Chains A and B, each alone.
Chain A
Amino acid sequence: MPETKTVGHALRKKDSMGLLLGKPAFLCDVTPADCLVVKLLRSPHAHALIRSIDTSIAMKVPGMVAIYTYKDVPHNRFTNAGQTYPEPSPHDRLILDQRLRFVGDPVAILAGESEKAVNRAMKLIKVDYEVLTPVLDFHTAKDNPILVHPEEDWEALCPVGADNHRNLCAHEVCSQGDVEAELAGCDVVIDHTWHTKACQQAMMETFRTYTEMDPFGRLHVISSTQIVFHVRRILSIALGIPKSRIHVEKPRIGGGFGAKQTSVSEVYPAFVTLKTGRPARIVFTRQECQIAGSPRHEMEVRVRLGADRQGNIRAMDVYTLSNTGAYSEHGPTTVGLSGHKSIPLYTGGLKAFRFGYDVVYTNVQAAGAYRGYGATQGIFAVESAVNELADRLGIDPVALRERNMVRQGMIMPAYYNEPANACALDRCLTRCKEIFDWDHRFPVLDMGNGKVRAAGVAMAMQGSGISGVDVGSATVKLNDDGFYSLTIGAADMGTGCDTILAQMVAECMDCPLDNVIVFGADTDTSPYDSGSYASSTTYVTGKAVEKACTQLREQILTLAAEALGCPADELEFTGQEVRRCDGTASISLVDLATRSMCNNNTAVQATCTHSSPMSPPPFMVGMAWIELDKETGAVTLLDYKAVVDCGTPINPALARIQTEGGLCQGIGMALYEDVHYTDTGRILEDSLMQYKIPTRLDMGHLQVEFESSYEPTGPFGAKSIGEIVINTPAPAIAQAVYRASGVWVRTLPITPEKVLMGMQGKA
């Protein structure tokens, strides 16, 4: 890559000091508090019909303004999934429905002058429920006589294999080669099923939305969302009003991870504001976030992995059963990644693969789009299978991977036949092995005090945006004084994309980062962007930024040509001035910018849009070193080392933090974060007291390095970083636990109980 001044440098995030000093930035800081308080009465039953509902006593509470039930809302089915229209997720929701499909499904919307009034009124709503038998076991959901969505107006807009009369949200099988014949010819076949739970995203800022009518009579929505444009469409469909009447913007977002790629909270205050004409705000409690949020899809992934005695992996058969819960959000799409972003890691000598899946409806909390988006679940299974194969064959798992992994230049049949244009996975493995000291740490070390130290490894991939779907756009404008404004529709949820994209502007326009201001995202003013998800922003929107800057440079030259009275092709732009190549005349950018505001017909503002026909995978390797207590089964993570190929890291500091943050979430998923339902379908881990995300004492020491490749289709050679980083801890830690204890824990999280009972042969 050519020398760069801004891209590739670890610059501070533009909003960093404001955030660190606690300046008002988030939804509840920047929206008026004197608005209607909106809260939801939620179903205590996993499956029920409302026989009758009486709100008359509740409405007598002083300060109550409105209570709405299923009788009051439009009968328009929609999905909350923030996806490009037509959404792959079937339209299966009403704002409020007579049928309640999980413990926490909204029964009524309450709006009042104070929280106290609303809380009091909530206890006074009389509901007569006809309690129905729920579908709680996702193994028996398909073709179960009890239907989660029996309604006739349920609608699948895309052919995803969904059938509400079979509790099916999606179904597909794809293959290449004869997988059964290849498996039959293999010396060794590993055949197991791996189970991951509906892990919570646990972003620190819960779901929240503020709504008001603006002076033009339009619905103004301020929401903590990753997807302003999708929210506009979702509200339009749900409320039955034109999109032109809706304006959606986001303030700073207190964490997303995909949770806010689903429109979880927006519709409720929006409905209240439309009905009452008054400003309204909903703020989910942590408990609501845990029981009616947007967790990871619970999946069981069966892998049949075949290889010869030398360790050449010949065939892989992957079947995923995914639990979308009560509603379809991201059900049909997350599951695809469990195979399409795990199998291609072993493109090396693979002769045949098959990948099939069923996504089923059940009466539990609906899942959503959580970082990794199905790849996390699939990679836990496939990487664990490869580790079990290494163990069976007595081959070092790193050597086994070196023999079979995808390498630069290969076509990946299981990844829609995309090429690995930029792939430093081999270098990641070599480097990780080196910094981890794999050769010394892989042999199990008995500490002589009942404790054992052991190591594990895993590889991962993800995508960079959704190929042929995601749209990124950027507007870059020259202002007086020669500074630039960048307007985007992508959402910085803390990741730093505002800064990363501004770094690209600074690089393209040859100016300091401080000369670029960033605004977004707002449906009224931002150019269209699908939103920040699917690891798309750096790769897709970044390319749009690059294109817009190229166009703006041309406009600047045109303007300068008029000013200097010469053809534009005799001019060059240095960032600070435009000068004639022969050095005889020049005009400063400041003067040009000023000139653009007087008697000027040349725009100095460019908007460009980008979509990519491919989704180049980032790759990475992670290695875990643990200490296991043989007496209790407790696992302590000592060290985790990871080496990532995200193409060019645009901002190495932010790329490192993304990696460390993703590893920490992955460690939580591997060791601590559990979800249990009671036999009536209630989630036990409904607070941060029971749902244990890692503290800084629970994640050992992380070390992250980068092995860069250059992706020719990305801006400055960049691919993505946001999601891939969560994928390696579970399989790497599971292998380390096996090495230390002799127990393969195939259901996450790896609790001391599971390890100890496994060691005692009671698994």
Chain B
Amino acid sequence: MEIRLTLNGRQLRAEIEPALLLIDFLRAQGCLSVKRGCETANCGLCTVLMDGVPVLSCSVLAARASGHSVQTLEGLQEEAEEFVGFIADQGAEQCGFCNPGYVMNTIALLRENPNPTDDEIRAYLAGNLCRCSGYEGQLRGIRAFLNARGTKEVNPHA
């Protein structure tokens, strides 16, 4: 079947198998940041934005993306760069395999809630598993970013 979508701002038309999952479609399109960590929609590694809303691309058919706008970390480098350096300062990226998923979800969080509390951050990112870091360093990084941004103008996407 044919699908048409906007991927990272680019209009795209593709012929796909109806059963193709969005994650596999995206990786085939070169969006290699999208990672698979499980087959049961439990790990959050494959998080992408569909019309600005975070979805698990392992649980969405590529066909469902037809007519929608999909963004992966490849398309949101600048927005991510605003805060991921603070996570790097903590060493909390560790192996890095889960990073794209929780970075995408953090982007979604900060758009939705530019000044989240620690508990709000934990709750929003609860579906993003990480086996290396113990999570605290990720939280410290996001908190350090929010503190550094301080009273400056909040995210224009909000």
Counting residue pairs across A and B whose Cβ atoms lie within 8 Å, the total is 176
Q: Decide if B131 touches A203 in the complex (CB within 8 Å).
A: yes
**A659 to B81, alpha carbons, bound, how many Å?**
26
Contacts of B72 in A (CB 8 A): 22
Which of these binds chain B: A24-32, A339-347, A503-511?
A24-32
The yes or no answer to B127 lying at the interface (CB within 8 A) is yes
Q: Decide if B130 touches A20 in the complex (CB within 8 Å).
A: no
Give A501 Cβ to nearest chain B Cβ, in Å. Answer: 15
Q: Decide if A204 touches B98 in the complex (CB within 8 Å).
A: yes
Give B109 Cβ to nearest chain A Cβ, in Å. Answer: 13
Q: Decide if A493 touches B95 in the complex (CB within 8 Å).
A: yes
Contacts of B40 in A (CB 8 A): 286, 687-689
Q: Decide if A697 touches B123 in the complex (CB within 8 Å).
A: yes
Choose from B33, B96, B134 the contact partner of A702 (Cβ within 8 Å): B134
Choose from A254, A493, A657 the contact partner of B133 (Cβ within 8 Å): A657
**A257 to B91, alpha carbons, bound, how many Å?**
17
Q: Decide if B96 touches A254 in the complex (CB within 8 Å).
A: yes
The yes or no answer to A471 lying at the interface (CB within 8 A) is no
What sequence of 0s and 1s flags, for each residue 83-98 of chain B, a beta carbon within 8 Å of any chain A beta carbon? 0110111111111111
**A654 to B127, alpha carbons, bound, how many Å?**
24
Give A223 Cβ to nearest chain B Cβ, in Å. Answer: 15
**Chain A, range 654-672, C-beta contacts under 8 Å to B:** 654, 656-657, 659-665
Contacts of B37 in A (CB 8 A): 204-206, 286, 688
Q: Decide if A695 touches B134 in the complex (CB within 8 Å).
A: no
**A15 to B90, alpha carbons, bound, how many Å?**
13
By beta carbon, the residue of chain B nearest A30 is B32
**A609 to B138, alpha carbons, bound, how many Å?**
36
By beta carbon, the residue of chain A nearest B118 is A701
Q: Decide if A29 touches B94 in the complex (CB within 8 Å).
A: no
Contacts of B84 in A (CB 8 A): 17, 20-21
Q: Decide if B93 touches A13 in the complex (CB within 8 Å).
A: yes
Contacts of A203 in B (CB 8 A): 95, 97, 131-132
**A35 to B135, alpha carbons, bound, how many Å?**
36
The yes or no answer to B61 lying at the interface (CB within 8 A) is no
The yes or no answer to A202 lying at the interface (CB within 8 A) is yes
Given A287-B39, A697-B123, A205:B88 Cβ within 8 A = no
Choose from B42, B73, B89, B123 the contact partner of A22 (Cβ within 8 Å): B73
What sequence of 0s and 1s flags, for each residue 116-144 of chain B, a beta carbon within 8 Å of any chain A beta carbon? 00000011011111111111111100000
Give A186 Cβ to nearest chain B Cβ, in Å. Answer: 39
Choose from B35, B39, B94, B138 the contact partner of A494 (Cβ within 8 Å): B94
Q: Residue among B81, B93, B131 with the most chain A CB within 10 A?
A: B131
The yes or no answer to B55 lying at the interface (CB within 8 A) is no
The yes or no answer to A495 lying at the interface (CB within 8 A) is yes
Q: Decide if B132 touches A494 in the complex (CB within 8 Å).
A: yes
Q: Decide if A17 touches B88 in the complex (CB within 8 Å).
A: yes
Give the total of A residues in contact with B, Cβ under 8 Å. Answer: 59
What sequence of 0s and 1s flags, for each residue 182-211 of chain A, a beta carbon within 8 Å of any chain B beta carbon? 000000000000000000011111100000
Q: Residue among B27, B72, B90 with the most chain A CB within 10 A?
A: B90
Q: Decide if B126 touches A661 in the complex (CB within 8 Å).
A: no
Contacts of B85 in A (CB 8 A): 17, 20
**A660 to B141, alpha carbons, bound, how many Å?**
14
The yes or no answer to A10 lying at the interface (CB within 8 A) is yes
Give the total of B residues in contact with A, Cβ under 8 Å. Answer: 52
What sequence of 0s and 1s flags, for each residue 683-709 of chain A, a beta carbon within 8 Å of any chain B beta carbon? 000011100010111010110000000
By beta carbon, the residue of chain B nearest A660 is B134
**A203 to B32, alpha carbons, bound, how many Å?**
19
Q: Decide if B42 touches A687 in the complex (CB within 8 Å).
A: yes
Given A285-B39, A687-B40, A688-B38, A12:B88 Cβ within 8 A = yes
Q: Decide if A657 touches B94 in the complex (CB within 8 Å).
A: yes
What sequence of 0s and 1s flags, for each residue 496-536 of chain A, a beta carbon within 8 Å of any chain B beta carbon? 10000000000000000000000000000000000000000
The yes or no answer to A252 lying at the interface (CB within 8 A) is yes
Give A24 Cβ to nearest chain B Cβ, in Å. Answer: 4
By beta carbon, the residue of chain B nearest A687 is B40
What sequence of 0s and 1s flags, for each residue 60-100 of chain B, a beta carbon within 8 Å of any chain A beta carbon? 00000000000011100100110011011111111111111
The yes or no answer to A651 lying at the interface (CB within 8 A) is yes
**Chain A, range 129-170, C-beta contacts under 8 Å to B:** none
**A496 to B132, alpha carbons, bound, how many Å?**
11
Contacts of B136 in A (CB 8 A): 660, 701-702
Choose from B42, B81, B90, B99 the contact partner of A657 (Cβ within 8 Å): B90
**A702 to B118, alpha carbons, bound, how many Å?**
14
Give A116 Cβ to nearest chain B Cβ, in Å. Answer: 8
Q: Decide if A657 touches B38 in the complex (CB within 8 Å).
A: no
Q: Decide if A688 touches B95 in the complex (CB within 8 Å).
A: no
The yes or no answer to A253 lying at the interface (CB within 8 A) is yes
Contacts of A656 in B (CB 8 A): 91, 137
The yes or no answer to A255 lying at the interface (CB within 8 A) is yes
Give A638 Cβ to nearest chain B Cβ, in Å. Answer: 14
Contacts of A252 in B (CB 8 A): 95-96
Q: Decide if A16 touches B91 in the complex (CB within 8 Å).
A: yes
The yes or no answer to B108 lying at the interface (CB within 8 A) is no
Q: Decide if B132 touches A699 in the complex (CB within 8 Å).
A: no
The yes or no answer to B7 lying at the interface (CB within 8 A) is no
Choose from A253, A493, A657, A662 the contact partner of B92 (Cβ within 8 Å): A657
The yes or no answer to A564 lying at the interface (CB within 8 A) is no
**A663 to B134, alpha carbons, bound, how many Å?**
7
By beta carbon, the residue of chain A nearest B97 is A254
By beta carbon, the residue of chain A nearest B95 is A494
By beta carbon, the residue of chain B nearest A23 is B33
The yes or no answer to B43 lying at the interface (CB within 8 A) is yes
The yes or no answer to A435 lying at the interface (CB within 8 A) is no
Give B122 Cβ to nearest chain A Cβ, in Å. Answer: 5
**A457 to B127, alpha carbons, bound, how many Å?**
30
Q: Decide if A257 touches B89 in the complex (CB within 8 Å).
A: no
Contacts of A12 in B (CB 8 A): 88-89, 91
Give A667 Cβ to nearest chain B Cβ, in Å. Answer: 9
The yes or no answer to A563 lying at the interface (CB within 8 A) is no
**Chain B, range 1-52, C-beta contacts under 8 Å to A:** 27-28, 32-33, 35, 37-40, 42-43, 45
Q: Decide if B91 touches A20 in the complex (CB within 8 Å).
A: no
Given A22-B73, A653-B89, A653-B90, A205:B95 Cβ within 8 A = yes
**A408 to B131, alpha carbons, bound, how many Å?**
34
Give A671 Cβ to nearest chain B Cβ, in Å. Answer: 14
Q: Decide if A657 touches B100 in the complex (CB within 8 Å).
A: no
The yes or no answer to B146 lying at the interface (CB within 8 A) is no
Contacts of B134 in A (CB 8 A): 657, 659-665, 699, 702
Contacts of A661 in B (CB 8 A): 94, 131-134
- The 4 tightest CB contacts between A and B, nearest first, are A494-B95, A22-B33, A19-B96, A254-B97
**Interface contacts beyond A653-B91, A656-B91, A696-B139: sample of 16 additional A-B pairs, CB < 8 Å, sorted by A:** A12-B88, A13-B88, A13-B91, A15-B93, A20-B88, A20-B93, A22-B33, A205-B35, A285-B39, A653-B137, A661-B131, A687-B39, A689-B40, A689-B42, A695-B129, A696-B138
Q: List 17 A-B contacts (CB under 8 A).
A: A10-B91, A16-B91, A17-B85, A20-B80, A20-B96, A33-B28, A203-B95, A204-B97, A205-B35, A252-B95, A253-B95, A286-B40, A495-B94, A687-B39, A688-B40, A688-B43, A695-B126
Residues of A that sit less than 8 Å from B by CB = 10, 12-13, 15-26, 28-29, 33, 201-206, 252-257, 285-287, 493-496, 651, 653-654, 656-657, 659-665, 687-689, 693, 695-697, 699, 701-702
